[in-house]
Amino acid sequence: MSLKTDPTLSPFFTPKGVVLVGASQNPAKLGFGPARNLVQSGYRGAIHFVSPRGGTLLERPIYTSIAAVPDPADLAVLLIPAPVVPQALQECGKRGIRAVIIASGGFRETGAEGAALETQCLQIARTYGIRLVGPNCIGILDTHVPIDTTFLPPPGPTPGDVAFISHSGAICAAVIDWARGQGFGLSRLVSLGNQVDVQETDMLAPVASDPYTHVITLYLEGVSDGRRFVAEAARVTREKPIVALKVGRFASGQKAVASHTGALAGQESAFDAAFRRAGVIRADTSEELFDWARALAWCPPPKGRRVAVLTNAGGPGVTAADALEAHKLELAELTPETVTALKEILPPAASLRNPVDMLAGATPTQYAECLRILLADPNVDSVLMILPPPPMDSAGGVARATIPIIYAATKPVVVALMGERMIQEAVEHFRAAKVPEYRFPERAAAALAMLTARADYLQKPPQEAVRVTDVDKACVARLLAEYEISLENGGFLPQTAVSQIMTAYGIPVPPVVLAHTPEEAVHLARQFGQPVALKVASPDIPHKSDVGGVLLHLMGDEAVARGFEQVVTNARTAAPTAVIQGVHIQPMILDGQEVIVGAVQDPQFGPLLMFGSGGVEVEGLKDVAFSLAPPTQAEADYLLASTWAGRKLDGYRQIPEGDKMAVLDIIYRLGQLAADFPQLAEIEINPLRVLEKGKGAYAIDIRARLKP
């Protein structure tokens, strides 16, 4: 474990002495809870109580002031009315306490007055160098230190290996109880409350660095600083898995809506992209959060996706096979040796193909032997074992017979126990042995899928975002600075500026060449060898198409020559005093595959890239994927692999292979641009026309909007 942690946060978990301010002798009062829990938890440091009334509590004196508390005292828990919290913080500062949990409510969550109080607390904390957890939180506990600063009614959680960090206090109470009922223990629990100082990101490394913690679970209502969270979580997930439940999915945030990218990029796309970058596993429900956490905490990583299913009934075996395939796992192809070995111990009617169905009469010994055989098969990466309540044998016996084998195995085994009361003994055995068990095959399969995803992640070396350096950043900076002053068109940059930006960042746009005469135009059009567009070249005519200064789809010498004359005539008629330099001629690229590449600035995670099927139907087809920008190589690959637009670049039926390398290059370049210039609220290439392999890709239409 190489995680560096912030030493100022250590007292929250391993204090030498804890001061409870607001301790109450009345067991019905909230202020009694932490006193009881500190004492009952078996905390071995000093426990001090403070209350203006004095007296004794749980055979300890109650001091009437923080100043009066003797050494050691390096963590304070405040459970006093909000208005007196600043005063108490001051006293903690003076007493030399540098870590404080403000459990009290009555702050930002109640309105402006509370928010002001919170700011005041932060100022005091800054003055004294105090770190604050809360306010409006349940506190922190660690079952191995052990210490419990919460006011929750006993029993607290059993010691275990799953850590829980939560923005919601109520969820903490539920999780402790749920964990106890589901038979898994917690290592550390952190309730963050209003996060006036310490935020979810700060707590990742301190919790992960705890040797008893095997997996970190998060209940997030958002993140405070998106990129910091990603960086820190990425560091942590290399050491220990993080599973996160992010709630508030449908909260409609403020949105950039001028582009397709803006319309499709939501908070959820950004969180998905951020979690992907950070290696954080995202759970969709509370149940998944802890289903997966148990498997991740208790099982070795599988070497691959090939699963053997061991069952004593066909139906649940099929259900398991379905669920495995739904999660993109494979049913292992058993070796002939395995089949032979199974045949020797199973009845003739048993199914020796995967799923291995031992039939209803399977004994604990058969379960154990088959499991041993399957685990020894080199084609098997993991095993899903199913125990329906057999009519004539006990599930408990199967648990006892198989646990030693599971324990000795270097491959993961997860168990699906069908039923409820008749399997209770087996459940207790498996839980005690830290074998993840689930009530249905579907949940067991999902857990196995997460184990496999985690193993995949660890096998791939971490990647840096791809930085593109052969860009003219200064040029774009100049351009944007100019337009930030003279914004026209509601923040949209004019096409000339947008083309210049593309060129500065090495994104090909169709060439534009100035022709001074019709003959020159004809010559150029022949060179381009495609239909061309003509646009009158004049610095004095901003809206060229309004004056008939633009002609499209011209083909053939005659049309081009005539077109040249026409746009010039049109322009002269409409603007007799304008300086006309000639006509811009540009090839029209009409073939190739049509994709979209866009970027927006996400309020939490900054630049976010989108790639997918382009054209006018982007929002209807929704064939798009997102990544943080600039992307890593794996992320850029993911953008292509997870969209039809991207897969189609490999060619499909009549559609020839597209220039994938050119697309990837443009993805990196647009990502770099979005990262370099956060003032670009939205920039979108739609379509990007992708020509055949080796022939490049061209940004045809580009929209860019500056932040207001």
> What token pair was written down for 291?
């289903």
Nearest to a second copy of 319, 366 (CB atom): 319
Instruction: Say whether residue 392 binds a second copy (CB under 8 A).
Output: yes
CB of 562 to a second copy, least distance (A): 20
Nearest to a second copy of 100, 427 (CB atom): 427
Instruction: Say whether residue 30 binds a second copy (CB under 8 A).
Output: yes
Instruction: Say whether residue 173 binds a second copy (CB under 8 A).
Output: yes
DSSP 646-660: HHGGG-BTTBPPB-H
DSSP 38-65: HHHTT--SEEEEE-TT--EETTEEEESS
The one-letter amino acid at 473: K
# residues near a second copy by CB under 8 A: 80
Nearest to a second copy of 32, 49 (CB atom): 32
Nearest to a second copy of 144, 180 (CB atom): 180
- Quick one: which segment of 48-56, 386-394, 470-478, 667-675 binds a second copy (CB under 8 A)? 386-394
Backbone φ and ψ for 156, nearest 5 degrees, come out as -75, 180
The one-letter amino acid at 609: L
* Cis peptide upstream of residue 687 (ω within 30 degrees of 0): yes
- Long-range residue pairs from 437-444, CB within 8 A, at least 24 positions apart, any chain: 438/291, 438/414, 440/319, 440/416, 441/316, 441/319, 441/320, 441/323, 441/384, 441/386, 441/416, 442/319, 442/320, 442/323, 443/287, 443/291, 443/416, 444/320, 444/323, 444/384, 444/386, 444/414, 444/415, 444/416
Instruction: Say whether residue 109 binds a second copy (CB under 8 A).
Output: yes
Instruction: Say whether residue 421 binds a second copy (CB under 8 A).
Output: yes
CB of 416 to a second copy, least distance (A): 10
Among 2, 26, 285, 489, binds a second copy (CB under 8 A): 285
Among 294, 648, 689, 705, binds a second copy (CB under 8 A): 648
CB of 230 to a second copy, least distance (A): 22
CB of 544 to a second copy, least distance (A): 21
Question: Residue 664: how many CB atoms within 10 A of its CB?
Answer: 21
Nearest to a second copy of 321, 466 (CB atom): 321
The whole-angstrom separation of Cα 193 and Cα 134 is 5
Instruction: Say whether residue 85 binds a second copy (CB under 8 A).
Output: no
Residues 500-519 close enough to bind a second copy by CB under 8 A: none
Nearest to 214 by CA among 302, 299, 283, 303: 299
Rounded to the nearest 5 degrees, what angle is found at the Cα of 268, between the Cα atoms of 455 and 649?
70
Instruction: Say whether residue 169 binds a second copy (CB under 8 A).
Output: yes
Instruction: Say whether residue 428 binds a second copy (CB under 8 A).
Output: no
The whole-angstrom separation of Cα 261 and Cα 265 is 6
The one-letter amino acid at 421: R
The whole-angstrom separation of Cα 5 and Cα 9 is 8
Residues 217-246 close enough to bind a second copy by CB under 8 A: 219, 221, 245
Site map 360..379 versus a second copy, x via CB under 8 A: x-------------------
Among 33, 157, 607, 630, binds a second copy (CB under 8 A): 33
Nearest to a second copy of 152, 547 (CB atom): 152
Residues 607-646 close enough to bind a second copy by CB under 8 A: 613, 616-617, 620-623, 644
Site map 440..469 versus a second copy, x via CB under 8 A: xxxx--------------------------
Question: Residue 168: how many CB atoms within 10 A of its CB?
Answer: 18
Instruction: Say whether residue 543 binds a second copy (CB under 8 A).
Output: no
Question: Which residues, 6 or more positions from 360, have their beta carbon under 8 angstroms from its beta carbon?
Answer: 312, 313, 390, 391, 392
Nearest to a second copy of 418, 560 (CB atom): 418
Q: Is the dihedral of CA 165, 169, 171, 173 positive or negative?
A: positive
Site map 315..344 versus a second copy, x via CB under 8 A: xx-xx-xxx-xx------------------
Nearest to a second copy of 623, 665 (CB atom): 623
Nearest to a second copy of 95, 167 (CB atom): 167
Among 226, 388, 614, 631, binds a second copy (CB under 8 A): 388
CB of 557 to a second copy, least distance (A): 20
Nearest to 629 by CA among 201, 282, 261: 261
Among 75, 358, 418, 636, binds a second copy (CB under 8 A): 418
CB 630 within 8 A of CB 668: yes
Instruction: Say whether residue 77 binds a second copy (CB under 8 A).
Output: no
Among 153, 378, 539, 542, binds a second copy (CB under 8 A): 153
- Quick one: which segment of 17-25, 148-156, 484-492, 493-501 binds a second copy (CB under 8 A)? 148-156
- Long-range residue pairs from 325-330, CB within 8 A, at least 24 positions apart, any chain: 326/445, 327/445, 327/446, 327/448, 327/449, 328/449, 329/305, 329/445, 329/448, 329/449, 329/452, 330/305, 330/306
Backbone φ and ψ for 177, nearest 5 degrees, come out as -70, -40
Nearest to a second copy of 421, 543 (CB atom): 421
The whole-angstrom separation of Cα 186 and Cα 199 is 20
Question: Which residues, 6 or more positions from 7, have their beta carbon under 8 angstroms from its beta carbon?
Answer: none
Instruction: Say whether residue 26 binds a second copy (CB under 8 A).
Output: no
CB of 207 to a second copy, least distance (A): 19
Instruction: Say whether residue 112 binds a second copy (CB under 8 A).
Output: no
CB of 114 to a second copy, least distance (A): 9
Nearest to a second copy of 42, 315 (CB atom): 315
DSSP strand pairing (550-554 vs 582-587): unpaired
Among 149, 166, 452, 672, binds a second copy (CB under 8 A): 166
- Quick one: which segment of 28-36, 88-96, 122-130, 583-591 binds a second copy (CB under 8 A)? 28-36
Q: Any idea how long the chain is? A: 708
Nearest to a second copy of 82, 130 (CB atom): 82
Nearest to a second copy of 14, 25 (CB atom): 25
The whole-angstrom separation of Cα 205 and Cα 216 is 10
Among 287, 425, 557, 657, binds a second copy (CB under 8 A): 287
Among 255, 365, 546, 652, binds a second copy (CB under 8 A): 652
Q: In 575-618, which ranges are E strands?
A: 582-587, 593-602, 606-613
Instruction: Say whether residue 129 binds a second copy (CB under 8 A).
Output: no
Instruction: Say whether residue 250 binds a second copy (CB under 8 A).
Output: yes
CB 366 within 8 A of CB 398: no
The one-letter amino acid at 315: G
Instruction: Say whether residue 439 binds a second copy (CB under 8 A).
Output: yes
CB of 131 to a second copy, least distance (A): 24
Question: Which residues, 6 or more positions from 487, have their beta carbon under 8 angstroms from its beta carbon?
Answer: 706
- Long-range residue pairs from 322-327, CB within 8 A, at least 24 positions apart, any chain: 323/441, 323/442, 323/444, 323/445, 323/446, 324/384, 324/445, 324/448, 324/449, 326/445, 327/445, 327/446, 327/448, 327/449
